[in-house]
Amino acid sequence: MDRTILERQFVYGGTGSSEHDLKIKPCDLITLNKAQVEDITEG
């Protein structure tokens, strides 16, 4: 996951339902996905 995700208080994503969205703290998203945080984007 790109390091810039940590600049946000929350991130939002789809859930597979048109009636629900996901609101999650970036640190929780990283933990749940066992993601590596790296510099991916240019900027």
Domain boundaries defined on the chain: 3-33
Residue 41 has a pLDDT of 85
For residue 42, the model assigns a pLDDT of 79
Per the structure block, which two tokens stand in for 18?
A: 């048109």
Sign (positive/negative) of CA torsion 7, 4, 11, 37? negative
pTM of the model: 0.80
Tallying the residues shown for the chain, one arrives at 43
- Residue 43's pLDDT is what? 64
Q: What is residue 15's predicted lDDT score, i.e. its pLDDT?
A: 94
Residues 1-43: pLDDT tens digits? 999 999 999 999 999 999 999 999 999 999 999 999 999 987 6
23 and 15 in contact (C-beta within 8 Å)?
A: no
